């Protein structure tokens, strides 16, 4: 699927806010959380997501084609690779 088709599919799956984000090379998004579920779909580049669940710290690397689920109220941070990262952000508000 192309970018437009992915966006339309996510909207039909019930995500209310869907948009594309172009993160700059080396961009850091410090620890935060959302009061809604988020799904990221990596289109280009690389991103590392670190989630904090209780005492556990889970760090995962993602590249093109990855689908990253970040559940409501889950503390997390992100580090973008040296070439940047283009990804779709889909928000599901309750």
Fold category of 3-92 in CATH: Jelly Rolls (2.60.120)
**Residue linked to tokens 């909207």:** 11
pLDDT tens for residues 10-19? Answer: 999 999 999 9
pLDDT tens for residues 44-93? Answer: 999 999 999 889 999 999 999 999 999 999 999 999 999 999 999 999 99
Q: What residues does 58 pair with on adjacent strands?
A: 51
Domain range annotation of the chain = 3-92
Q: What beta strand segments (E) does 15-75 contain? A: 17-23, 28-32, 37-53, 56-63, 67-70
The rounded mean pLDDT for the chain is 97
The reported pLDDT for the residue numbered 94 is 84
Task: Report the chain's terminal Cα–Cα distance, integer Å.
Answer: 27
Residue 23, pLDDT above cutoff 90: yes
Tokens of 32: 């935060």
pTM value is: 0.95
Q: What residues does 51 pair with on adjacent strands?
A: 58, 76
């Amino acid at each position: 699927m192309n970018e437009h088709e992915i966006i339309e599919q996510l909207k039909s799956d019930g995500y209310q806010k869907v948009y594309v984000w172009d993160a700059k090379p080396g961009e850091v998004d410090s620890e935060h959380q959302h009061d809604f579920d988020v799904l990221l779909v990596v289109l280009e580049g690389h991103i590392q997501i670190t989630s904090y669940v209780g005492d556990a710290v889970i760090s995962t690397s993602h590249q093109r084609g990855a689908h990253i689920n970040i559940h409501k109220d889950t503390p997390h941070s992100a580090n973008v690779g040296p070439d940047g990262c283009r990804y779709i952000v889909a928000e599901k508000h309750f």
